Amino acid sequence: MRQHAPAYTPEAASASATGGAGERHSLPALQAKMKRDPEGYETELRQLQRHFESSVFLFRQQAALSSSSSGGGGGETAKELGDLALFLAHVAPFYPNDLADLPDHIGGLLDTNARALPSGLRVHLVQALILLVNRKIVDLEDTMELFMELQVIGDRAVKKLAFSHIVHSIRRMNQKHKNEAKNRKLQGILFKLVQGEEESRAKRAFTILCDLHRRRVWFDDRTANAICDACFHPSSRLMTAAISLLIGYENVEQEDDSDASSEDEASQNPNIILSKEDVYKANHKGTSASKKKKKAKLERVVRSMKRQQRKSNEESGSNYYSPLTYLKDPQ
């Protein structure tokens, strides 16, 4: 009787890539080899790609057949698919032609089946898509609506990931110079959500607008007017948040979404004190290696103090974080 070939797995691919089953390596090891020699591992890449695409198809079929099932299962198959998605996202820059459809596969699965997917797989897929955006394989504006939708599916981990990704991406985009064309497109998506009647989506968009306005990334009349327009939203919660913001409250929402705003060391250590003893120790006590570490730490503290002072000066200014300053036709 004819025997069928064993099912293809990522482990089999990594084994074949490193000389057989006797020398099995993990996906991270294969990933490192592919980055060093992309052409030498094209066969393994295509095998893994086919396996990934078939797994995506399988998950879609399962979701269609059992739409009432919860997203808590999945087991090894879900973990394998999540690992494959992250693996392919990492090597995508080295295989731009072979993996050109990867963003569509990952984004499509999240777009149509995000709620039905196991939580762990959902997080891995979101991380993979974020990686593709960060590496400019897909534009933020093409995935913006999906990342906004992912914030309202009830998965707190995914919500934080999507929120942080949007804020950080827009901040990076405007760090050196402002790209008005891209800014307008992204603002248009958020403005539309804020004006929509669906409360959860409007609130997420409002929170992002406020965060970017407070950071002076989108410190313009368009954003200010969109924030002020939220005062007339049908949702009483959003209306209250908008009014509270305008009359001086800094806490826009009750939830803890401060993960995107806790980067600076100064904000983590509000009372940084630099003593003469610290300066003396950094320059005169210990070995050369320890003094080097102390000096580096001292420099970080000084930079933090400067940031803290700059922030304090900005907050004491009369126009600090006031959308009303930029409001058109305030009445």
Question: Could you tell me which residues come within 8 angstroms of residue 181 by beta carbon, excluding any fewer than 6 positions away?
Answer: none
Looking at the chain, the whole-number percentage of residues with pLDDT higher than 70 is 69
pLDDT over 60 at 260, yes or no: no
pLDDT over 50 at 266, yes or no: no
* Confidence category of residue 315, pLDDT binned at 50, 70, 90: low
pLDDT at 254: 41
Residue 186 belongs to some domain of the structure: no
Nearest to 52 by CA among 22, 29, 85, 19: 85
Residue 19 belongs to some domain of the structure: yes
- Mean per-residue pLDDT, 171-198: 92
pLDDT higher for 323 or 221?
221
Residue 52 belongs to some domain of the structure: yes
pLDDT higher for 3 or 56?
56
pLDDT over 90 at 158, yes or no: yes
CA pseudo-torsion sign 213, 215, 220, 221: positive
Mean model confidence pLDDT for the chain: 78
Count: domains in the chain? 2
pLDDT at 62: 75
Residue 106 belongs to some domain of the structure: yes
What region does 258 belong to: left with phi over 0, alpha with psi -120 to 50, or beta?
alpha
Residue 286 belongs to some domain of the structure: yes
pLDDT at 25: 54
pLDDT higher for 122 or 291?
122
Whole-angstrom Cα distance, residue 296 to residue 269?
17
pLDDT over 70 at 5, yes or no: no
* Last residue of one domain, picked from the residues 138, 154, 184: 138
Question: What is the domain range of residue 310?
Answer: 265-326
pLDDT over 70 at 322, yes or no: no
- Mean per-residue pLDDT, 37-45: 92
Question: Could you tell me which residues come within 8 angstroms of residue 79 by beta carbon, excluding any fewer than 6 positions away?
Answer: 120, 121
* Last residue of one domain, picked from the residues 114, 138, 162: 138
Residue 10 belongs to some domain of the structure: yes
pLDDT at 278: 63
Residue 288 belongs to some domain of the structure: yes
pLDDT over 50 at 21, yes or no: no
pLDDT higher for 105 or 314?
105
pLDDT at 178: 86
328: number of CA atoms within 13 Å, CB side? 8
* Last residue of one domain, picked from the residues 106, 138, 170: 138
pLDDT higher for 229 or 271?
229
Residue 185 belongs to some domain of the structure: no
